Structure 1
Amino acid sequence: MDALRVARRIVAQYGSERFLTNLKLNLLVYWCQVEALRETGAPLFEDAIAVGERGPVETDVWDEYASFGSRMIRQRDEWKEPTLDASAERIVAHVVDTLGALTAIDLLEMSGADDGAWRCAKDRGSATVDVDDILTSADMQRTVPARTLAGCVDKVTREYPNALRLLENS
């Protein structure tokens, strides 16, 4: 399987309920790879993960959705994308359920942690994040951070329901 197929499946299955930008989609695909290694010990896709300027990037996925820039990806032909095998679908569902509500900034912070695979590859001057980088990194044990931008916005929305509306209209 390739990373683009995983990305297309995420867009097809979750694109209408999650705000997916090219960056966020790339990071979710990366975390699908991490989750596959956690769960099965084998990679979900064989494509190389590039060491991007600020985080891991699947080049084919990035190029496919580049025209959207930082705007929300709108479904195109992804609705025709066939389902993945049961194990891959379960991995994708788990990643989107646990990380899909996070912002791209939150995901970048997780992916760029000092003890993570991307940082290790970047520090040694590698062009790619290898499976071994992931397996030996703290990404294998990383959980959703307690404090995220998405979480803070949710908390403000709950505790001060009119605050964001007032800011929106100011």
Structure 2
Amino acid sequence: MLASDVARHIVAHYGDAWFLTNLKLNLLVYWCQVGALRDAGAPLFADEIAVGECGPVIPAIWAEYEAFGSRMIRLRDEWQVKALGENTESLVASVMRELGWLTAADLLNLSNHPDGAWNAAREQGYESISVSHIAGSADMRREVSERTLAACVDGVERKYPNALRLLEHS
């Protein structure tokens, strides 16, 4: 399977529900790879995961969605979305339930822990993150902190429902 197949599936099935940028999509696909290694003991895809400037990046996905920049990725009619298989679609759904609501900044924080695969590969001078980097890292047991930007915004929205609306139009 290609990482771009996973990315297209995420855009097609979750793009309307979550604000997906190129960076966020790359990070979500990275966490799908982590989930596959954790749950099945085998990688989901063989594409390179590069040690990006700020976190893990899959060059094939980055190039495919580069035209969107930091704007929201919208599904295009000409994109072919392949069925991934029941196990893979279940894995992607699980990752999206757990992480899809997070911001790109939250996902970067999650991916940049000192005991994570990205940091280990970067400190060792590697240009890419290997399966062994991921398997030997704390990313395999990482949990989402309750203190995320997305959770804080959600809390403000619940406590002060009009505050964000006022800021939106200021």
Q: TM-score range by the shorter chain?
A: over 0.9
Q: Deviations over 1:107-140 (max 9, x none)?
A: 0000011110000000010001000000110000
Structure 1 length-normalised TM? 0.97
Shift of 1:87: 0.9
| Equivalent residue number for residue 42 of structure 1 | 42
Do the aligned residues in 1 keep the contact of 2:115 with 2:138 (CA within 8 Å)?
yes
SS at match of 2:84: coil
Do the aligned residues in 2 keep the contact of 1:32 with 1:44 (CA within 8 Å)?
yes
- List alignment gaps of at least 5 residues for structure 1: none
Number of residue pairs the alignment of both structures matches: 170
- Distance in 1, matches of 2:82 and 2:117, equals 30
| Equivalent residue number for residue 142 of structure 1 | 142
Do the aligned residues in 2 keep the contact of 1:7 with 1:25 (CA within 8 Å)?
yes
- Distance in 2, matches of 1:120 and 1:145, equals 21
- List alignment gaps of at least 5 residues for structure 2: none
Shift of 1:79: 6.2
- Distance in 1, matches of 2:165 and 2:43, equals 44
Shift of 1:78: 6.8
| Equivalent residue number for residue 61 of structure 1 | 61
Q: Deviations over 1:91-121 (max 9, x none)?
A: 1000011100000000000001111000000
- Distance in 2, matches of 1:131 and 1:78, equals 32
Do the aligned residues in 2 keep the contact of 1:28 with 1:100 (CA within 8 Å)?
yes
- Distance in 1, matches of 2:86 and 2:140, equals 22
Deviating runs (4+, > 4 A) in structure 1?
Answer: none
Do the aligned residues in 1 keep the contact of 2:5 with 2:82 (CA within 8 Å)?
no
- Distance in 1, matches of 2:59 and 2:16, equals 24
The alignment status of 1:151 with 2:122, answered yes or no, reads: no
Cα gap change, 1:35 to 1:68, in 2 (>3 Å): same
Q: CA RMSD in A?
A: 1.1
Do the aligned residues in 2 keep the contact of 1:11 with 1:78 (CA within 8 Å)?
no
